[in-house]
Chain A
Amino acid sequence: MENEVLKISNFSAGFGQSAILRNINFSVFQNRVTAIMGPSGCGKTTMIRCINRMHELSPAAYYSGEILLHGQNIFSMDPIIVRRRIGMVFQRPNPFPTMSIYDNVISGFILNGIKLKKEQKDQIVVNSLRKVGLWEEVKDGIYRRGTFLSGGQQQRLCIARALAMDPDVILLDEPTSSLDPKSTLMIEQLLEELKQTTTIVIVTHNTAQAARIADYVAFLYLGELIEFGPAKKIFTAPENKKTEEYLTGKFS
């Protein structure tokens, strides 16, 4: 039996008059990669932004229903606590331009005013950078600005920044859409390793990517969850006709 980390039930969200998500139900399991997949405009990004309560920051945003994190409704928790326990990586790498690589990794602590001892900081920085395979590449220039790195390196730095907070879940919103194929491959391999220790939710519009890395797939179409299940089953024997059409490239 899989260990349930997130449970999304009867969840709807949108902006003002326009409903983006309607009555979504699915679960995210521990140490598994769950891919949210679907054509552009189907609400993938909105879905993932609801999970760490970033959605409600947009003007006129609304939501209803429940998202449970280890059984506790995140909408009854302090959003700041929710975001510390559920990390996020964005479409475009966004390291803090005023900070060094070192400070970027522990920026979650610095910006929150959490004081750490020098040894603790060093340990977190080295561990996080090792996890994302960036340590060997940057160890000689760790006090340089993070914005000097290449796009792929910056994105891994952003993943390291999220990992440094030791979150229960990491959300990735199309993390490879602005990267070259080599960096994309690197990040996919990295996610494979990371799921040993964390739980991952990834948004992608790339079915091949979902097939390569996902254990579970949620297929969204026009704001509705068409199908959810183990990746193997979705990709080999989808129950819904729409899923099959999408996977065979009839629409995208």
Chain B
Amino acid sequence: MENIRKRILKDRLFTLIVIVLSFTACIPLLAILGFIIKNGISSINLDFFIHLPKPVGEHGGGISNAIIGTFIVVGIAFVIATPLSLLAGIYLAENKKNFFSDVLRVGIDILASIPSIVIGIIAYLWVVKPMKSFSALSGGIALAIIMLPVVIKSTEETLSMVPDSLREASLALGVPYFRTILKVIVPAGLSGIITGILIAISRIAGETAPLLFTAFGNPFMNLNVTKPVNTIPLVVFNYSTSPYEQWHKIAWAAALVLIAIVFVFNFLARIISKKWKTKF
């Protein structure tokens, strides 16, 4: 009896340790969130979302241009990266073992590990210099390069999970290969693909380094993709490194907005992956 009691006690103790440690891992997240909300919430009001930044010394003003700019740059990245990533992901899922797909896989892993600031420099050399202007387009291209490997990987993984029996069911009905992929394989993995895209978007929405010498930043509203554009991460960077107390507040508030946007995308991704999941 004594022995069993000891075992039960040990078991409980271990469970307790595991729970405590896993909560410890969440402390940084909660601390960051709490700190940003505490510092940022006071500057957030309707004006913050619909007004342009004001010069130092004047009170009020907002970051409407940066919010719009973020969506423009991320939108450009999405439009460029999604079709390429889907095609590459489909190719990799369909060709598990051949020379070219192995090379492609290694290439994607390397691309994923290139620091984002290096990608920013490349975009500067390839796009900004020839166009002779910082631009939303160059920022979007830089972010698209960061987005590519993320979406390719998630697409490949999702499509690899689609059972072969479905492919066979379709082919046995006399459906050509490309139609089988488009109408059977991709729809079966659609929720996973969309989830991957949303996660990638929430990842690039917060990128700052590659935008420093591409999108560059702009105190005014700009909807022209060939001209410099402001984004929320750039606001955080520029305003928090300024010497003005009032700008620091705006930087905190911008950080809060950025985190909220990222959260929304993450949340959407979770919902879609749960609700739309295809049961095989």
Contacts and interface: CB of A to CB of B under 8 A. Distances in A.
Q: Do A and B bind each other?
A: yes
B165 A165 contact: no
A153 B169 CA distance: 16
A22 interface: no
Interface residues of A, number: 29
Contact of B172 (A87, A92, A97, A145): A87
A161 B171 CA distance: 13
Report which residue of B165, B172, B179, B180 has the largest number of chain A beta carbons within 10 angstroms of its beta carbon. Answer: B172
B188 A97 contact: yes
Contact of B179 (A94, A113, A147): A113
B23 to A, nearest CB: 38
Interface in B132-179: 163, 165-166, 168-176, 179
Which bracket fits the contact residues of B? 20 to 34
B183 to A, nearest CB: 5
B238 interface: no
A249 B167 CA distance: 36
Nearest to B98: A59
Contact of A54 (B168, B179, B188): B168
B169 A97 contact: no
B280 interface: yes
B173 A94 contact: no
B173 to A, nearest CB: 4
Contacts of B166: 94, 96-97
B172 A107 contact: no
Contact of A80 (B165, B169, B176): B176
B83 interface: no
Nearest to A145: B279
B107 interface: no
A88 B174 contact: no
Nearest to B167: A57
Contacts of A98: 184, 187-188, 190, 278
A83 interface: yes
B179 A92 contact: no
B169 A94 contact: yes
A92 B278 CA distance: 18
Contacts of A31: none
Given A97-B280, A111-B184, A83 B169 contact: no
Given A98-B187, A111-B180, A90 B165 contact: yes
Contacts of A145: 279
Given A94-B166, A97-B188, A113-B179, A107 B173 contact: yes
A80 B163 CA distance: 21
A110 B279 CA distance: 21
Given A90-B165, A98-B278, A112 B175 contact: yes
Contacts of B175: 80, 108, 111-112
Given A52-B172, A54-B172, 9 more contacts: A54-B171, A57-B171, A94-B165, A94-B168, A96-B188, A111-B170, A111-B180, A112-B174, A165-B173
Interface of B: 163, 165-166, 168-176, 179-180, 183-184, 187-188, 190, 278-280
